[in-house]
Amino acid sequence: MEEQEKFMREAIRLSIENVESGNGGPFGAVVVKNGEIIASAANEVTTSNDPTAHAEVVAIRRACEKLGTFQLDDCEIYCSCEPCPMCLGAIYWARPKKIFYANTKADAADIKFDDNFIYQEIELPVNQRKLPTTQLLRDEAMKAFTLWKTSSEKTEY
């Protein structure tokens, strides 16, 4: 537990430093493998003009680059806050063995980082969502799926 708390303190330190420096939101994340931090990040949304540059996503990208793989097998991710829907999805796709978090999504909502509307939207049928969504050219797009399904050259993930 002491080692896990050390890694969480680093994620928290990154989140505090990010706010104090004026570089972005109060979120930090570290990826750990075999008891060693292999990647870390703070939220970079406003500094990079990238709405996907949440601390968890940036840390995952850095860890995968360092490891030369698209999965974080045998890794743990420490997040200063409970991951938002996008980050949670990214974490699941990266397949670490465990997630740790400090602040809750309710804590985030209290400071105006409320992701609840996304969870609600995901549950709705596409035609009932607030963001107009229209399907186009499915038959043409299915070619890529058919090629993937039958390809002997693919790397499954």
Separation of alpha carbons 56 and 78, rounded Å:
8
Note whether 104 and 27 are within 8 A (CB).
no
Which residue among the candidates 3, 17, 20, 56 is catalytic per the annotation? 56
List the 28-33 sheet strands across, edge first: 36-42, 28-33, 75-81, 98-103
Any idea how long the chain is?
Answer: 157
Query: For this structure, is 65 an active site residue?
Result: no
Separation of alpha carbons 56 and 31, rounded Å:
9
Q: Which residues are catalytic?
A: 56
